[in-house]
Amino acid sequence: MKKKSDFLLWHNEKYKINIRNVDDIYFKEKEVWFCRVGLNVGYEEDGKGKNFLRPVLVVKKIGKNIFIGVPLTTSDKHKDNKYYYEFEYIEDVKSYAILSQLKCFDSKRLDYKSGEIKLEDFLKIKEKLKEFFL
């Protein structure tokens, strides 16, 4: 159960995110960024730590400051689930794209770039997203 105090912490962090100047943040498709995802409702994927961070794959760049992204997890409990896609972007570390959590993000939420996935995996994720949402 999420605590009321955690939501208050997230609210304060969200205020700081909103007033950030991000003119110097450049992102592109296939990149994985640690993103200030926040503390969300119910089963929506949350960020972790004091900045509520979670790795997010940039799936589609919509403009200079906005993109469609998919949160990632390293939890292997999602193996063989059609709503997850398993891949590696860091050597010897399995990651899972949480396809059901596809979301629009503002670049103000971006904290730092973690890496980039292989083109083959990126194309498979995009195909699975098309199957999932169509």
- Using 50, 70 and 90 to split pLDDT, how confident is the model at 7? confident
β-strands 93-98, 66-73 pairing = antiparallel
Number of neighbours of residue 69 by Cβ within 10 angstroms: 29
Question: For 17-44, what is the mean pLDDT?
Answer: 88
Q: What is the pLDDT of residue 11?
A: 79
Q: What is the pLDDT of residue 39?
A: 81
Q: What are the angstrom distances between the C-alpha of 52 and each of 3, 9, 13, 121? A: 14, 9, 8, 26
* 8-17, 62-71, 113-122, range with the lowest pLDDT: 8-17
Percent of the chain whose pLDDT exceeds 70: 95
Q: What is the pLDDT of residue 97?
A: 95
d(CA 132, CA 134): 6
d(CA 87, CA 28): 19
Q: What is the pLDDT of residue 4?
A: 66
| 35-58 pLDDT, tens digit each | 999 887 777 788 898 888 999 999
Question: For 60-66, what is the mean pLDDT?
Answer: 95
CATH architecture of 4-133: Roll (2.30)
Q: What is the pLDDT of residue 79?
A: 65
Question: Which residue(s) pair with 72 in the sheet?
Answer: 97
Q: What is the pLDDT of residue 2?
A: 63
- Using 50, 70 and 90 to split pLDDT, how confident is the model at 134? confident
CB-based contact 45:71 (threshold 8 Å)? yes
Which residue ranges make up each domain of the chain?
4-133
